[in-house]
Structure 1
Amino acid sequence: MSDKKFLNYEQDGHIVTLTMNDPEARNALTGNSAVPEFLAAIDRIHADHAVRAVILTGAGSAFSSGGNVKDMGRYSEMAPMELRREYRLGIQKLPLALFNLEVPVIAAVNGHAIGAGLDLACMCDIRVAAEEAKFAESFVKLGIIPGDGGAWLLPRIIGLSRATELTLTGQMIDAKQAAEWNLVSRVVPREQLLPTARALAEQIAANPPHAVRLAKRLLREALHSRLDTLLEMSAAFQVMSHQTADHHEAVSAFIEKRKPEFRG
């Protein structure tokens, strides 16, 4: 495993940009320190209430190639329970951590998002793609299955039929088709990718942070909750929101016809 740092953490105001920085390995997520660095960055964001939005992107030509195929040879030599433990304490911690992160995450998909790289993009809340981006749920091509939550994430984003098609064929789709299938929100020229993601992050960060965090939590909970359960949670969150200084500021600014100043 290389000693090189995998993830660059940059904060500008209320926005954090995380850049996967191993372009030689096409930002692979295994065989390196990617997962522990992601977990540490997520903990850091959790602890910093000044952070209101996150952008995730990759250095070089790829967003992420997913699992490092060269590293997979050792898996067949491991005892089954040892390998199971490696998955559970390794890559599978990443979807849980990102799912429970209250700050919204925008994936700026700069290039290929393959296998676990596609699933990583699906762990984010919003996906924006460069025109040359490609997407594939390619595990089946290697005789394996999505081991990192992709079978849960992908159908909830693009629907079961299309998710099944991608998963069972391993086929690659381009950014245009990804947009048509609602895998990404928008497609832009490469040079506009980070500015577009930044503008979107600034729009989010301009809103009361408590409302953004609670709204994201509701959207996440809605993926697996009954309507009556979600309504109960919504009522509780709404009571909390009505008591905040930022809500009072928003109402006052609206009445006084001025720009609100949210402090979080």
Structure 2
Amino acid sequence: MAFGRAARRNGEPGMSEPFVLTEREGRVAIVTFNRPATRNAIGEHTDCEELIAALRSADADPGVSVLILTGAGSAFSAGGNIQGMRDRNGIGPLATPADTRANYRRGVQQIPRVLAELEIATIAAVNGHAIGLGCDLAALCDLRVAAENAKFAASFIKMGITPGDGGAWVLQRVVGYSRAAELVLTGDTITAVEAAAIGLVNKVVPAENVMREARALAARIAVNPPRSVRLAKRLLREAQHARLTDILELSAAFQALAHETADHKEAVEAFVEKRAPVFTGA
């Protein structure tokens, strides 16, 4: 079942299909990068706009608790479009440094802003290579499941540039400063197993099981009271940059809201009555 507005179409040759496909399975939204011929590279502002629209649409739907982000074909996302960089069009460099700065700010940088602000939980189902921007988008999700053959790289330095999409912020929050510095400053490509060892990936599974595992993980989250899932996710995000005293105050406020939900009352009653709870999102 699709959700949200129809994806925008690009008029370029070979680009008639939408960049993003969206599905809905119960309380789980699935957003798929849909350009396997270019390994799901993100090169145009319309690509950014489609992805942002899909993310916001899922987040605005009270019936959604979890979003799975994945890629069609053999890659999660190869990152930016190198051809566009060479030709100085698309989401990267333009005619002048001032134009390029504005281009990044109005285009690709809007994606991490939206991902970081989502209330719903997010899972990256990394079905193949996650390179550059692709690696950073996976890291911006709350959880990551990777195929055994997936590869990860913060490879901007190899192209003579720096992370332009928030990678310098998110990677060190996921794997720590030293590991992030190694990834960013070397630009080395690492395997899924190596990514799991440093905490970049939660679980590594055979390629054919990636979506099955992501769905199973999403189901474990989605079975919980929807409002509490969103509040807990917000607490985790705020705690990344707030003092303990501030988080305690926010926690008290969120608890005051959660205690008044019908799902909380149902959870308590079900526990006392020794039965499975039935949550409605109320």
Q: Give the TM-score normalised by structure 2.
A: 0.91
AA matched with 2:270: A
Q: CA deviation at 1:31?
A: 2.9
Q: Give the unaligned 5+ runs of structure 1.
A: none
AA matched with 1:170: G
Q: CA deviation at 1:123?
A: 1.1
What corresponds to 1:241 in structure 2? 258
Which segments of structure 1 move beyond 6 Å, counting only runs of 4 or more? none
Provide the C-alpha distance between the structure 2 equivalents of 1:34 and 1:183, rounded to a whole number of angstroms: 25
What corresponds to 2:38 in structure 1? 25
Query: In the alignment, which of 95, 99, 102 is matched to residue 78 of structure 1?
Result: 95
Q: CA deviation at 1:46?
A: 2.4
Q: CA deviation at 1:30?
A: 1.6
Say if 2:80 and 2:132, in contact at 8 Å, map to a contact too.
yes
2:13 corresponds to 1:7: no
Say if 2:225 and 2:263, in contact at 8 Å, map to a contact too.
yes
Question: Partner of 2:137: helix, strand, or coil?
Answer: helix
Equivalent runs, 1:1-264 vs 2, <5 Å: 1=12, 2-31=15-44, 33-73=46-86, 74=88, 76-264=93-281
AA matched with 2:82: V
Question: Partner of 1:33: helix, strand, or coil?
Answer: helix
AA matched with 2:138: A
Question: Partner of 2:279: helix, strand, or coil?
Answer: coil
AA matched with 1:38: L
Q: Percent of counterpart pairs with the same letter? A: 55
Q: In structure 2, do the counterparts of structure 1 residues 257 and 77 end up closer, same or farther at CA, with 3 Å as the change threshold?
A: closer
Q: CA deviation at 1:3?
A: 3.5
AA matched with 2:23: E
Q: CA deviation at 1:33?
A: 2.6
RMSD of aligned Cα (Å): 1.1
Task: Write out per-residue CA displacement over residues 225-261 of structure 1, whole angstroms, 9 at most, x where no aligned residue.
Answer: 0110111101100111111110000000010111111
Equivalent pairs counted in the alignment come to 264
Say if 1:5 and 1:33, in contact at 8 Å, map to a contact too.
no
Q: In structure 2, do the counterparts of structure 1 residues 24 and 16 end up closer, same or farther at CA, with 3 Å as the change threshold?
A: same
Q: Give the unaligned 5+ runs of structure 2.
A: 1-11
Q: Give the TM-score normalised by structure 1.
A: 0.98
Provide the C-alpha distance between the structure 1 equivalents of 2:81 and 2:20, rounded to a whole number of angstroms: 16
Q: CA deviation at 1:76?
A: 5.0
